[in-house]
Structure 1
Amino acid sequence: MKRGDMAPEQMAETAQDALPPPARPLDAIDQDILRILQADGRASIRSVAERVHVSRANAYARINRLVEDGVIRGFGARVDHERAGHSTSAYITLKIVQNTWRTVREQLRQLPGASHIALVGGDFDVLLLVHTPDNRTLRELVLTRLQAIPEVLSTRTLLVFEEEDLEPDA
C-alpha cells in the first residue's frame, strides 16, 4: 500500500504511548482534517488531501502531528449498542472516598459494558456510562460489581430511554 493510500487509523497504531507534547495551535486546514476524520475515520490520506486541497505528504504530516500531539487519540467504529445486543444503557453516578479517583477509575475500566468514565464536580464524583444486554445484567453490574468496590460510597442509576450520537455523520 502506498503511503498516500494509508488509512489514518493505521498511522495511529504506530504512535507511541508516551505523554504527548503540548498541543500546537490548529489552523483551518487542521480543523478541516479533524472534521473529515470524525465523520469518516477510514478516509485515506489521498482522500483527505484532496478534500482540504493539500498534497498527500502535507496531509500525512499533519495527521501524524495531530496523532503525536494527542489531538487525535485514536480511530474506531461508532457502534449502535442496541443493534450490537446491548439494549440497556444507563448513566451511573458514584460518590467515592476522597482521593481515590485513580484506584476507582482502574476498577471501572474493567467493568463489562463501561464506555465512558468522568471525574466531575457537583453532587457526585464520578459519572459512568454503561451498555448492557438487559436490565438484569445492569442490576448485577450495579449491585454486585460497583457496590463491591470499597471506595464507592453510593451509586444512583439513570436509565437511558433514548440516545443520539451528536458526532458528525459519515
Structure 2
Amino acid sequence: MPDPQLDAIDRKILRVLQTDGKISVAELAQKVGLSPSPCSRRIGLLEKAGIIKGYAAIVDQKKVGLPISAFASIKLERQREEDLDRFEEIVARWPEVLDCYLMTGQRDYLMRIVAADLEAYERFIKDKLTRLENIASIETSFALGQVKRSEVLPLS
C-alpha cells in the first residue's frame, strides 16, 4: 500500500503521539482539533500504512542493569548481497543489538550494543560476533555518557 499524503492534522497527530504514546484518543483529538471518531480513524490509517509502526515504553537502560553502550563498527570480508543478507538476518535475532545500520565508508555496519558490564560485552563479542563467517574486523567505541536520545522525528 503506498504511503498516503500526510496533511497538517496527520502531522499534528504524529507529533503528539511521538511524545506521548499513551495519550487517550479523546485528549489527542482535542489537541489536534478533531472529534474522537475521526481522530481514531486517522490513527488507524496511519497504522495501516505503516507510518505508525508500533508503541513502546522508553526504558532507562541503566536502571534495568544495562549501563554499557558499545558502538561496534564491522567490516566484512565480502559485501555480496547474500553475505549482507545473512549477516543482517543473524544480527536481527540478537537482543543485545539495539541498532544496526548498513553504512557507507570504511566500515560495512555500525551497531549499538547494550551490556551489563565489560565482561558481558566481551562474551557477546566472543560468543556471537566473532563466530560469524565473513567478519574481517570489529572496532568498538564505548559511550561515556548519553547527551541526547530521541525517537521524535522533526515533522514540519
1:151 deviation in Å?
2.6
Do structure 1's residue 110 and structure 2's residue 93 form an aligned pair?
A: yes
How do 1:139-150 and structure 2 match up within 5 A? 139-150=122-133
Mapped partners of 1:84, 1:102: distance in 2 = 32
- Give me the whole-angstrom Cα distance separating, in 1, the residues matched to 2:7 and 2:135: 43
Which whole-Å CA distance do the structure 2 matches of 1:101 and 1:37 have between them? 34
Q: Alignment RMSD, CA only?
A: 1.3
Alpha-carbon distance in structure 1 between the residues aligned to 2:66 and 2:127: 19
User: Aligned pairs, how many?
Assistant: 148
Given the alignment of the two structures, is residue 166 of structure 1 paired with residue 150 of structure 2, yes or no? yes
User: C-alpha distance in 2, partners of 1:112/1:70?
Assistant: 23
List structure 1 segments (4+ residues) > 3 angstroms apart after TM superposition.
none
Structure 2 residue 112 is matched with structure 1 residue 126: no
TM-score for the superposition, normalised by structure 2: 0.89
Q: TM-score, normalised by structure 1?
A: 0.82
What fraction of aligned residue pairs are identical, expressed as a percent? 28
| 3-state SS of 1:157 partner | strand
5+ residue gaps, structure 1? 1-20
> Unmatched 5+ residue regions in structure 2?
none
Aligned: 1:47 with 2:27: yes
Match of 1:65 in 2: 45
Q: Which amino acid aligns with 1:25?
A: Q
Greater mean alpha carbon deviation, residues 78-87 or residues 97-106: 97-106
